[in-house]
């Protein structure tokens, strides 16, 4: 019998961890919560979730001594997954309510999603709802073992697979090679996922995305 994968979820005082925990457990993981640096450093698979404002999230990490531990985990080569705000905090900085420094694990900026379409029509922000996501061209062009390396937990993604999003800002990586998936928002391509090596970020909520989301989390649990 294969050993159960242990997945550690970072608890920094922001967001409802229960839905993430339950989704991971349904995918076969043994879930632990980390409230201090020692808990993060003991992790193999690490999940950084979160909802709310970027500055509040970073403050929660710093006040609990977790920020550097998360950076160390990323440098170690072990799997790291950021979800929603957790994904955005992987960036170098955010423009949400001023300029705020992030974890700088994947170089890039968090910027507002467009409030008008490419045709000039107003768009409702925050964006809330289900939408199909598209694998970015570089990752989409990979095949075989390279595809798994480029796409990570989205390796089995099928065109038309929809996920659930709630956000007003998105992550623009400095290196286009770190862009994993996007979705169409009034003719604009908005970031849905980023990836650099062992580090993956989802703007969408896989734990709220039904079968598609659970399949994605199951892939993360199995392979990172």
All domains in the chain, ordered by first residue? 6-223 (3.40.50.880)
Q: What would the DSSP string read from start to end of 26-50? A: HTT-EEEEE-SHHHHHT-SEEEE--
Contact in structure between 198 and 220 (CB atoms under 8 Å): no
Q: Which position has the higher pLDDT, 75 or 140? A: 75
By annotation, the residues acting in catalysis are: 84, 205, 207
Averaged over 162-188, what is the pLDDT?
97
Lowest mean pLDDT among 3-12, 108-117, 191-200: 3-12
Provide the 10 A C-beta neighbour count for residue 113. Answer: 19
Contact in structure between 171 and 122 (CB atoms under 8 Å): no
Averaged over 8-37, what is the pLDDT?
93
Kindly report the average pLDDT of the chain as a whole number. 93
Helix ranges (H only) for the chain are 17-26, 37-41, 54-63, 67-76, 85-88, 137-140, 144-151, 210-223
Q: Dump pLDDT digits (tens) for 111-163.
A: 999 999 999 999 999 999 999 999 998 766 555 545 566 778 898 889 889 99
Residues in the chain: 224
Which DSSP symbol is given to 118? T
Q: Dump pLDDT digits (tens) for 199-223.
A: 999 999 999 999 999 999 999 999 8
Entry pTM: 0.94
Q: Dump pLDDT digits (tens) for 30-71.
A: 999 999 999 999 999 999 999 899 999 999 999 999 999 999
């Amino acid at each position: 019998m294969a050993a159960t994968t242990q997945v550690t979820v970072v608890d920094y005082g922001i967001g409802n961890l229960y839905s993430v925990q339950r989704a991971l457990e349904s995918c076969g993981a043994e879930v632990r919560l980390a409230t201090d640096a020692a808990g993060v450093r003991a992790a193999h698979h690490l999940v950084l979730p979160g909802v709310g404002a970027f500055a509040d999230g970073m403050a929660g990490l710093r006040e609990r001594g977790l920020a550097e531990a998360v950076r160390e985990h990323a440098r170690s080569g072990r799997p790291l997954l950021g979800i929603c705000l957790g994904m955005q905090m992987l960036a170098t900085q955010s423009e949400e309510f001023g300029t705020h420094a992030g974890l700088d694990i994947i170089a890039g900026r968090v910027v507002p999603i467009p409030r008008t379409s490419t045709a000039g029509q107003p768009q409702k922000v925050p964006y809330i709802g289900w939408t199909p996501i598209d694998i970015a061209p570089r990752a989409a062009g990979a095949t075989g073992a390279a595809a798994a390396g480029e796409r990570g937990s989205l390796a089995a993604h099928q065109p038309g697979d929809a996920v659930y999003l709630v956000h007003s800002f998105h992550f623009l990586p400095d290196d286009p090679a770190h862009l994993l998936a996007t979705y169409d928002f009034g003719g604009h391509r908005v970031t849905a996922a980023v990836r650099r090596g062992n580090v993956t970020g989802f703007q969408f909520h896989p734990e709220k995305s039904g079968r598609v989301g659970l399949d994605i989390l199951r892939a993360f649990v199995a392979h990172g």
